[in-house]
Structure 1
Amino acid sequence: MMFCRGFSWFTRIFVAVVIFTGYSHPVPVTESYTGVTLHTLTTDNSESLTVGRVQQAEEATAVDLGALLDAGDGAVVTLLAGDNTRLVAHRAVLAARSRVFADMFRRVTVEGSSSQLVLSDTEGPVLRQVLAYLYTQQVPQLPSMAPQLLVAADVYGLSALKAHCEQQVVAQLSVETAAAAGVIAIRHSANRLKQAAVAFIKAHLLRVMATQGWAEAVVNDPQTIVELTHLIAETPTDTSTPSAGESRTVPSSQPHSGHSDDGRSPATAVPPTSPQTTPQPDDVAISLLRDLSGEEKGKMLIAAAKEGSVSKVRTLLTVGADVEAKDENQLNALHFAAARGHVEVARRLLEDGADVNARDRWRNTPLHQAAWNGNPAVVRLLAASSADCNARDHTGNTPLHDAARRGHPDTATALLEAGADREVRNDDGDTPLDLAKQNNHQQLIDILGSS
């Protein structure tokens, strides 16, 4: 029985390979599953495909198929991407092409057989392209996805794919993408990209630093941005000898390795008159953030509140971000923190003077947001900070109406404890109890119906 199943798998894969290689009909085939176009290998003497490459592909395919033949029921594994996308692949193919996957399967075997691998750091579309590469050894021609594929190639130990992605990212360096490219290059040891990004940023420094991409990189990865700025400072703009009358400038900060590439201490044209110290990374990051416009700081504060990052919120407030900055719908950082249940972020915003009763375009307060989304801990925090428990939105609904409509008994209880009026009616004449009944929320009916 095991042999039959194995032979069945072998037959299916063999037929697929025959079709793919154009054995009978050399017609292009589009593989919709991976989202890339796979072209057949014709049997003529095409100049673009050498005999050696064909032999290598055939040998690799034979190894993979042989492993599948012996694998039996354990041939297939489900990969769960970070966005919960599920992809199915063959263990033998993945293990043969990636030492990282091979190590994963060995660990799974030791810990107990599993038919699923969770790859939370890789999103579904990127993982699809990685699998396409592992099966076909063809580099996806998707320039817009090249940065993400570079990261994935580094994670899964695919050096050839990583090198190709580096070329693609370098080829599309721009003022808008340079900062992100530099961060990726440093974090994933992409030296060619790092050199190109540093040179590009140095040549367009002011324009790059004025982009949203630079601002986001400063907030999201300040340590790497600090390292990037050190590299920019260390890279000479022109290696030619200065002409007469020109002064030779020297970066104030030394290389973070403590020495130059040749092992000698960096030379200085003029000895400093007073000791100079390299700024601490946090100081550099703060300095970079202070140079951003008020609008940029406000946008980043809202983004940090959405994310729930207390440290980013604290840093942005320190450099002067407006705690009342709003988006196009008049929602501020406290609205988003309340909606998403980020208690500590909400606390930090309140400590910095955020208006606890701020209104968005629909007249919702942060308490409305917390009630609608069922965040009782935030409700208690806002109530303790003098939030109006009976504030009405543009249709007359109070936070208690929202909790009742949405079915959040714990939130409704917190609102009642804070003094919310259970008898108040909205513009349609409904009380919170009426809304609970209309939506069949029995637990809320019991809570709101009791005196």
Structure 2
Amino acid sequence: MSAAAEVQRTAAVDLGALLDAGDGAVVTLVAGETRLAAHRAVLAARSPVFRAMFQHDTLEASCGEVRMADVGGPVLRQLLSYMYTLQAPQLTDTAPELLAAADRYGLSALKAACEQRVAAQLEVETAAAAAVLAVRHSCPSLTAAAVHFIRASDYKVMATQGWADAMRSCPEHLTEVSRLLSEPPAEASAGRGSSSPSTTTRPLDDPGRSPAAAARHTPPPPDDAAVSRLRSLSQQERGRRLIQAAKQGAAEQLRELLAAGADVAAREEGLGSSWTALHWAAYKGHVAAASCLVGAGAEVDARESLYQGTPLHWAARSGHAGVVRLLVGSSADLNARDRWGQTPLHWAAKWGQAEAAAELLVAGADGGARDGKGRTPLDLARQNRKQQLVDMLTQR
């Protein structure tokens, strides 16, 4: 229901009820040291939460006092003012807290007004908190605005203290925000922004999906006939096909080959190096294929022989944040060293891969790690004129 519709529906509380209510018409709302008197009839008319509270045999209904531990004093005053006047207060710094309170007490029009105010106040340092707030309280328009802002700021938000704080305090909500950032813009803004499952089509085996979504889109079991045919091939041929399927991101073929006994540790030799299927999936950015391989037991810290890079090195070098997130979540070594002592973050910084670098930093990669020549990721970003990475690593 729109804000205007709600105002029309509830504009006239039956003020006669205030006269007829008699004893107990007034209750005291308590938030910390703040105590405010209010009429039950007004609270019940505006908020379904208060209505249910007063209609049943609750402690609040019997004692005439409602303690609101989840609301601060200033926010309580604004909340109560709105319930009496249906006029949103002049919101400033309390907009995020008032939005949360409006959501808890079922005041949809006030919540919508707060969404607009928070979206208008987005800044690099506060965008992470705003995005988490939007996801937690199912605010589609604010979620879309925050995701767009983070992208438009070249992902500098992901290198702020605000992002790090959100990672510590609200990891499940920030994971949802990160997943939205990894989607194409059209998908991320098409009705996303709530913590409820989405109907947006996503690739099978995408590790960023919620458990409910994963259950709805569980991949079908491998085709028995195809598996039977693949079993007739030599182990070498199955390994060759596994590598090829990883290059192409063909997750269904990977499942069939693995079910037929293909060795998940098979390697492709060439150009002086030796790559596993997971190296190829990481380098190409195939999240579903990488997820399939990791699920089958692929070694996440396997080294290719030329540069001694892990799959995480190659995902970072190519800027595939989704694969970086998958590998980090699968306990890949964030600070693994290649032949020259460089970490995945060194590789991301050298090649200017901001999203991948941000994922690594958020996960706890060592921004001050030095390679064999004493250079940090910041040094490599400066040396290669990757200004976006220079800004990100300097802020960090």
When Rg is computed on C-alpha atoms for both structures, the one with the higher figure is 1
Calculate the TM-score normalised by the size of structure 1. 0.44
TM-score scaled to structure 2, two decimals?
Answer: 0.49
- Structure with bigger RCO (C-alpha 8 Å, 6+ apart): 2
